[in-house]
Amino acid sequence: MVSLLVTNLGELVTNDPTLGDGPLGLRRDAAIVIEDGRVAWIGDAAAAPAADERRDAEGRAGLPGFVDSHAHLVFAGDRAAEFAARMAGEPYTGGGIRTTVAATRAASDDALRANVVRLRREALRQGTTTIEIKSGYGLSVADEARSLRIAAEFTDETTFLGAHVVPADREPDDYVKDVCGEMLAACSPYAKWVDVFCERGAFDGEQSRAVLIAGRKAGLGLRVHANQLGPGPGVQLAVELGAASADHCTHLTDQDVAALSGSGTVAALLPGAEFSTRSPYPDARRLLDAGVTVALATDCNPGSSYTSSMPFCIALAVREMRITPAEAVHAATAGGARALRRDDVGRRRSPTAPWSQWAKAGRSARTAPASVRRRRCSRPDCDRSSWRP
Ligand code: NIG
Ligand code: FE
In contact, 248 and 226? CB cutoff 8 Å? yes
* Alpha-carbon distances of 153 from 114, 146, 200, 245, 377, rounded to whole Å: 12, 11, 33, 23, 6
Annotated binding site for Zn(2+), which residues?
70, 72, 225, 299
Q: Is residue 387 part of a domain?
A: no
128 and 27 within one domain = no
Annotated binding site for 4-imidazolone-5-propanoate, which residues?
79, 137, 164, 228, 304
357: enclosing H helix or E strand: helix 356-360
Q: Which numbered ligand comes closest to the C-alpha of 86?
A: 1
In contact, 155 and 123? CB cutoff 8 Å? no
Give, using CA atoms, the residue closest to atom 10 of ligand 1. 303
Kindly report the backbone phi and psi dihedral angles of residue 45, in degrees, each rounded to the nearest multiple of 5, phi listed first. Answer: -55, -35
Give, using CA atoms, the residue closest to atom 8 of ligand 1. 303
Distinct helix (H) and strand (E) counts, the chain? 16, 15
107 and 31 within one domain = no
Domain that holds residue 165: 66-365
Q: State the distance from the centre of ligand 1 to the C-alpha of 12, rounded, in angstroms.
A: 35
Q: Global pTM?
A: 0.90
The enclosing domain of 327 has a CATH number of 3.20.20.140
Would the CB of 234 count as within 6 Å of ligand 1?
Answer: no
224: enclosing H helix or E strand: strand 221-226
Q: State the distance from the centre of ligand 2 to the C-alpha of 225, rounded, in angstroms.
A: 6
In a structure prediction context, what are the per-residue pLDDT tens digits for the chain, which is 389 residues long?
Answer: 899 999 999 999 999 988 888 889 999 999 999 998 888 889 899 999 999 999 999 999 999 999 999 999 999 999 999 999 999 999 999 999 999 999 999 999 999 999 999 999 999 999 999 999 999 999 999 999 999 999 999 999 999 999 999 999 999 999 999 999 999 999 999 999 999 999 999 999 999 999 999 999 999 999 999 999 999 999 999 999 999 999 999 999 999 999 999 899 999 999 999 999 999 999 999 999 999 999 999 999 999 999 999 999 999 999 999 999 999 999 999 999 999 999 999 988 644 433 222 222 223 333 333 333 333 344 444 443 332 22
Kindly report the backbone phi and psi dihedral angles of residue 218, in degrees, each rounded to the nearest multiple of 5, phi listed first. Answer: -85, 5
Q: Is residue 382 part of a domain?
A: no
Label the pairing between strands 61-62 and 53-56: unpaired
- What is the chain's alpha carbon radius of gyration, rounded to the nearest angstrom? 20
57 and 93 within one domain = no
Q: Is residue 291 part of a domain?
A: yes
Cα dihedral sign, 196-197-198-204: negative
Q: Is the ipTM of this complex over 0.90?
A: yes
Would the CB of 96 count as within 6 Å of ligand 1?
Answer: yes
Q: State the distance from the centre of ligand 1 to the C-alpha of 96, rounded, in angstroms.
A: 9
